[in-house]
Amino acid sequence: MPQKRRSQSWSDLKQAGNECFKTGQYGEAVSLYSQAINLLEKSGQKNQEDLSILYSNRAASYLKDGNCNECVKDCTVSLELVPFGIKSLLRRAAAYEAMERYRLAYVDYKTVLQIDCNIPAAHDGTNRMTKALSEVDGPSWREKLPPIPTVPMAVKEKWAQTASAAPTTQQNGIKDKPGHDAVKKAKTLKEEGNSLVKKGEHKKAVEKYTESLSYDPSEVTTYTNRALCYLSMKMYKEALKDCTEALQLDSTNVKALYRRAQAHKQLKEKKACIEDLNSLLKIEPNNTAAQKLLQEAQKMK
């Protein structure tokens, strides 16, 4: 007799979603997390922590795909289930920032810093928002902010215990600082990738960069280098994703903006291409390559 297929549990679906996320299949990850959420909610189990993680994971997938509105919604639900979750706060802040809702992004970044003042993404985000809000609202920008919630001491203590016990890992888009050995290994692999690029072996280089990022997912140049390979291989959507990843780590990275504009141009996305080039030219007004590409983009139909 054929074996009866075992129906997937919500935890199986979550694991499958995590695997899809790691390989860049964000749409599939959203679908799997959604199924897991439905199963867990229907089961009647009042496990708020597991549900909060599922919503936060789905939010990370939405963020990667550029669906910022859905990311904000899921992060908000996640934070209602388990208040002051750092991953959800950072993801929502990144989504708000992408939507140019800088005040709300600032509040989320500052809330994270109350919980743990050693998170680089929160420091960098706060600095970017401070600059953006100063330009938009002038010297009195702080007066226009929504209230920043006070984080209870119990939350800070719980996070401190969790952080000290947990190994450094990357989980769904929030990058913890890798250890010294991991950084060293990542650098070696990146250099091997760079050597392969010089030889024109872009496919092999992509493999080296991908392996490098598994050790240190916070290295901006590895993303921009891999994006260059993807452009050479005419894999424009992959190049787009890598440049977006790099810009989440460093919003003023000129190479990421230029290469993403190149990818947008090849994908016939005129408006997005011009936006990236205008952003680049604000940073480097005399960048001749960007000026030339902008002229070409403006002639697109």
Of 30-34, 175-179, 264-268, minimum mean pLDDT range: 175-179
Structure tokens at 193: 């990738």
- At 41, the amino acid letter reads E
Range of the domain at 68: 10-168
The position carrying tokens 């229907």 is 42
Kindly state whether residues 138 and 209 are assigned to the same domain.
no
Q: Is residue 261 part of a domain?
A: yes
Domain termination site, one of 168, 189, 222: 168
Is the pLDDT score of 256 beyond 90?
Answer: yes
What does the pLDDT read at residue 69?
A: 95
**Helix, strand, coil percentages, rounded to 5, for the chain:** 75, 0, 25
User: pLDDT tens-digit profile of 44-86?
Assistant: 776 889 999 999 999 999 998 889 999 999 999 999 999 999 9
Kindly state whether residues 147 and 239 are assigned to the same domain.
no
Q: Is residue 1 part of a domain?
A: no
User: Is 281:291 a contact under the CB 8 Å cutoff?
Assistant: yes
Domain termination site, one of 168, 192, 226: 168
What does the pLDDT read at residue 267?
A: 92
Q: Is residue 230 part of a domain?
A: yes
What whole-number percentage of the chain has pLDDT above 90?
63
User: pLDDT tens-digit profile of 8-18?
Assistant: 789 899 999 99
Structure tokens at 182: 């991991």
Kindly state whether residues 107 and 251 are assigned to the same domain.
no
Structure tokens at 298: 């403006």
User: Is 197:229 a contact under the CB 8 Å cutoff?
Assistant: yes
As for how many domains the chain has, the answer is: 2
Report the CATH number at residue 49: 1.25.40.10
